[in-house]
Amino acid sequence: SGRDSTRWINRTLRKLGDAPVIYSEEETNRTREEITKAVQNMGYMGALVEPIRQVKKKKMKLVYKVTTGKPYKVRTLKYDIQDSKIKEYMRQDSAVTLLSEGMYFDVNVLDAERQRITNKLLQNGYYKFNINEGCASTLTKATAQISNFILLT
């Protein structure tokens, strides 16, 4: 646009552009941490995220390089259920479980399975219970062992 702000075309062209974004190191680090967490939630526990800054003239291009490594796999599943009726519900429902040995570890699938178990117990009249999951992993073999605990309160 031209310098004369009284002209209609110059005012219109100025309104079309985006305001400049000022680079923030804090925002870059926060975004790097969020990407790292998201990739780790998909089972890549050793993931590294590196921001790469490319400056040309007065403009910066920011790219995040993600190195995933090997995905973790679920080695064993273990259920520790004290109540015999709940144990029977879980046994009957085992064909539709979202978790299986050998699958890639994914926090989202773990959360979905927790919700599925919660819904099943609520449908069968249980209202005060806790579902806790424990996960032990080995860095050398990239495997995880998941334990589910269902406790009545």
Residue 110's CATH number: 3.10.20.310
- Do residue 21 and residue 83 come from a single domain? no
CB 99 within 8 A of CB 121: no
Question: Into how many domains does the chain fold?
Answer: 2
pLDDT tens digits for 90-109? 888 888 888 888 888 898 99
Sequence-distant (≥ 6) Cβ neighbours of residue 143 within 8 angstroms:
72, 73, 74, 75, 137
Residue range 44-60: mean pLDDT, rounded? 91
Sequence-distant (≥ 6) Cβ neighbours of residue 60 within 8 angstroms:
23, 53, 54
- Do residue 62 and residue 81 come from a single domain? no
pLDDT at 46: 87
pTM for this prediction: 0.69
Give the amino acid at 117: I
- Do residue 109 and residue 147 come from a single domain? yes
CB 50 within 8 A of CB 85: no
- Do residue 101 and residue 55 come from a single domain? no
Range of the domain at 29: 8-67
Q: Any idea of the CA torsion for 95, 101, 102, 105, to the nearest 10 degrees?
A: 100
- Do residue 136 and residue 93 come from a single domain? yes
- What is the token pair recorded at 65? 């390089």
- Do residue 90 and residue 108 come from a single domain? yes
